Amino acid sequence: MNEVDDPPTTVDPTPVRDPVVDGPPGSSQRVIPLRRPGRWIATVVVLVVVAQIGHGLATNRFFQWNRFGYWFTRPVIVDGLTVTLKVAAWSALFGLLGGVVLALARLSKSPVLTAVSWTYIWLFRSIPLIVLLLFLYNFGALYKTISLGVPFGPTFAHFDESRLASDMVIAIVGLSLNEAAYAAEVVRAGILSVDQGQHEAAAALGLPRVYQLRRVVLPQALRAIIPGYVNQLIGLIKSTSLVYYVSLLDLFGSVETLGSTYPSDIVPLLVVATVWYLILTSAVSIVQFYVERYYARGAVRTLPPTPLQRLRSGLAGVRARYRLEVDR
């Protein structure tokens, strides 16, 4: 605080000073932040607990980290991971498309579309995913062939169900049907969050309906849709573990079968699955950050910094402070 010793400035337009309000002449009236001892104690406690957990993870023989290393990138695990990724990606795509269609139907002025959409969402949110998957798995027994045509009228084409639906297709269909019901509500919430004035402005300009949706409503709705949908997507990635029950060897399925062959490795195998699911979730979260940032354009005056930019400015701050110390 070397400013305290500075002589009073001559440019000061108010020669009469109140020593209580103004402080000593020349001092900057800097506010000293409140001390928070409770926060420091809590931080120390949390750090100790975290260190203990880390220690336990590293040293507990139960986890058999050498076996984890052995299994982590085995081809059989990678094959399972590929199945998980395929099922999750296709279901996410079809689920979202279905969700958008259902949400638009639900918001339409047609009572029939609204009712059908409502019923679909009600039905598929009520059926447990595992029940739905097993039901589809046994679908072949219920309907031997599938025909395309007018109900009670002519038939255009028919398929043998057992050849049409591989286990992979059954899994994707089941997950997509379920996902669409949830995605519909997320999308609907997003569309409802767009200000009525935006619809009116687009209508007043006479913009075609499709253009209104594509350029005005959906981009603004996406800001509200993304966090909800990513939540949904992460749930979906984990739900793919259920496809094991329709005889598909996904990541969890591979781990489970390997576990029965190598019973002593069951814990490291479960850790392998856990770490892979963690990686998938993290990848989705990183993508979410940048997509959200992209759609924040216009909604905020300045975009929030990316973690990399924050790191860089943080380092610059530390360096500047260091240089200041050195100069003294």
Cα angle: 209, vertex 213, 215; to 5 degrees = 110
Could you tell me which residues come within 8 angstroms of residue 98 by beta carbon, excluding any fewer than 6 positions away?
A: 176, 177, 179, 180, 183, 184
One-letter amino acid of 140: G
The structure tokens 């002025």 sit at 109
Binding of residue 192 to other proteins (CB under 8 A): no
Smallest separation, CB 204 to other proteins (Å): 4
Interacting residue with other proteins among 76, 192, 200, 274 (CB under 8 A): 200
Task: Please identify, using beta-carbon distances, which residue of 6 and 200 lies nearer to other proteins.
Answer: 200
Window of 129-137, 149-157, 195-203, 311-319 that interacts with other proteins by CB under 8 A: 195-203
Answer whether 71's CB lies under 8 Å from 258's CB: yes
For residues 172 and 166, the answer to whether their CB atoms sit within 8 Å is no
* 202 in contact with other proteins (CB under 8 A): yes
Distance between CA 175 and CA 240 in Å, rounded? 8
The 203-222 contact track toward other proteins, x by CB under 8 A, reads: xxxxxxx-x---xx--xx--
Contact letters for other proteins, residues 115-134 (x by CB under 8 A): --------------------
Q: Apex CA 129: angle with CA 164 and CA 132, to 5°? A: 45
Shortest Cβ 207–other proteins spacing (Å): 5
By C-beta, is 56 or 298 nearer to other proteins?
298
Structure tokens at 156: 């255009």
Residue closer to other proteins by CB (options 38, 197) is 197
Q: Percentages helix, strand, coil for the chain, rounded to the nearest 5?
A: 75, 5, 20
For residue 297, state whether it binds other proteins (rule: CB under 8 A): yes
Q: Name the residues that contact other proteins, by CB under 8 A.
A: 195, 197-198, 200-209, 211, 215-216, 219-220, 295, 297-301
